[in-house]
Amino acid sequence: MTSIRKPNPSERRLINFLIQKSNLELKSRSCISLLVQPMKDGNMGSMLLFPEGITEQDDRQFGKTISQYNFYDEDEVLVKASLNIDRKGRLYELDLWKVDFSPLLSIPTSFTSK
């Protein structure tokens, strides 16, 4: 796996949008100091999420999907974004699935609530 890093501005915008869309109250500090680790998914953009105080994924388990959003990539292929939390209610994963399995070209700069 690739190394853990800070999310870039477009990743952070998408994560924050999905958090707001979920209506779930997360500790605001966990989002400010959030770190991410890109997953091996054919470069579709999925990433593990590490809120403050979490530095490894070993003992964490998927809990549930709290928010979803669909958008079209620059090549007009549908991308499905899902924000997942672990069993303790902490941010766990941003799952991006491009329906043709091709690499993600970009994340939109703005989102519309649907």
Q: Are 71 and 79 in contact (CB under 8 A)?
A: yes
Q: What is the pLDDT of residue 114?
A: 59
Q: What is the pLDDT of residue 11?
A: 95
Residue 111 inside a domain? The answer is: no
3-state secondary structure of 9: helix
Q: How far apart are the first and last CA of the chain?
A: 34
Residue 30 pLDDT greater than 60, yes or no:
no
Please give the tally of structural domains in the chain. 1
pLDDT band at 60 (very low <50, low <70, confident <90, very high): confident
| Beta strand residue intervals within the chain, DSSP E | 35-38, 47-50, 62-72, 78-86, 91-98
Please tell me what DSSP assigns to residue 53: T
Q: Which whole number is the average pLDDT over 101-107?
A: 96
Residue 79 inside a domain? The answer is: yes
Residue 114 inside a domain? The answer is: no
Which of residues 107 and 24 earns the better pLDDT score? Answer: 107
Query: 38 Cβ partners below 8 Å, 6+ apart?
Result: 1, 2, 45, 46, 47
Quote the domain boundaries for residue 82. 9-98
Which of residues 29 and 114 earns the better pLDDT score? Answer: 114
Residue 34 inside a domain? The answer is: yes
Q: What is the pLDDT of residue 68?
A: 96
Q: What is the pLDDT of residues 64-100, one digit of tens each?
A: 999 999 999 999 999 999 999 999 888 999 999 999 9
3-state secondary structure of 21: helix
pLDDT band at 27 (very low <50, low <70, confident <90, very high): low
Residue 42 inside a domain? The answer is: yes
Give the neighbor-by-neighbor strand order of the sheet with 35-38: 35-38, 47-50, 91-98, 78-86, 62-72
Cα distance between residue 21 and residue 76, in whole Å = 23
The pTM (predicted TM-score) of the whole model is 0.88
